[in-house]
Amino acid sequence: MIKAITGLLFATIVTAFKSMAHTEELIIAITEQAEDVKGIMPTPNQGQSMAAVQARWGQEIARFETVGEPPIDKLEYADFFVYFENETVIHTVIKYK
């Protein structure tokens, strides 16, 4: 009988603590994350040359096929992608993590 009461009491206490504990989910838009990261993580600036980007950040992880006219190139680095038009940076996209 004592085991049953002890077990019931333990289950009641555990249930009470579980209902008191909760978690919250914070959802931040990717655009807001990028704004927060810009001051912390340096990325290539619009107007930089491809040579300057490669000199600063080294060899890219991947280089995608050139598309369109004018030619658009995309280089992948560990934390971001860089888009070039005629070997000039037009946009940098930070990878979502």
Q: Are 46 and 89 in contact (CB under 8 A)?
A: yes
Give the CB-side neighbour count of residue 3, counting CA atoms within 13 A: 0
Instruction: Give how many domains the chain has, as a whole number.
Output: 1
pLDDT tens digits for range 18-67: 655 566 666 666 555 555 555 678 899 999 999 999 999 999 999 999 99
The residue range of the domain holding 58 is: 2-94
Cα–Cα distance measured from residue 93 to residue 82, given in angstroms and rounded to the nearest whole number: 6
pTM over 0.75, yes/no: no
Confidence of residue 82 (pLDDT cuts 50, 70, 90): very high
- CATH number of the CATH domain containing 20: 3.30.1450
